[in-house]
Amino acid sequence: MEHKWLAVLDDDDLEFMHQFMLASGSLKELAAHYGVTYPTIRSRADKIIRKVRLADGEDAPYVAYIKAMAIEGKISPDAAKDLITMFRIMHKEA
């Protein structure tokens, strides 16, 4: 079984998920572990959830990865849109 969603998660995401499991799924406990507020942890969890949902969608893995990078703020939404548009154009020509 292929787990496409793993491809969109970076090392920080995986470590967060590791700590989440060790905290028995408690975001409150996770916030204490990281020394941040509950809303900060909730926001981080929500980003990871969005990335996993993208990967589980119908998009090509490359498109899901680009969208995940935009969610993380690693690239701008405009750059993500341009890269995805070019990817789709190139794959129609192939």
Tens of pLDDT, residue by residue over 4-34, are: 788 788 899 999 999 999 999 999 999 999 9
Handedness of CA 27, 32, 33, 36 (dihedral sign): positive
Rg, the chain, Cα only: 15
Is the pLDDT at 94 greater than 60, yes or no?
no
CA distance 30 to 91: 42
Domain count, the chain: 1
pLDDT computed for residue 35 by the predictor: 97
Does the structure show a pLDDT above 90 at 37? yes
- Give residue 82's domain range: 4-93
pLDDT of residue 5: 82
Number of Cβ within 10 Å of residue 20's Cβ equals 19
pLDDT, tens only, 46-87: 999 988 888 777 778 888 889 988 988 999 999 999 999 999
pTM tops 0.85: no
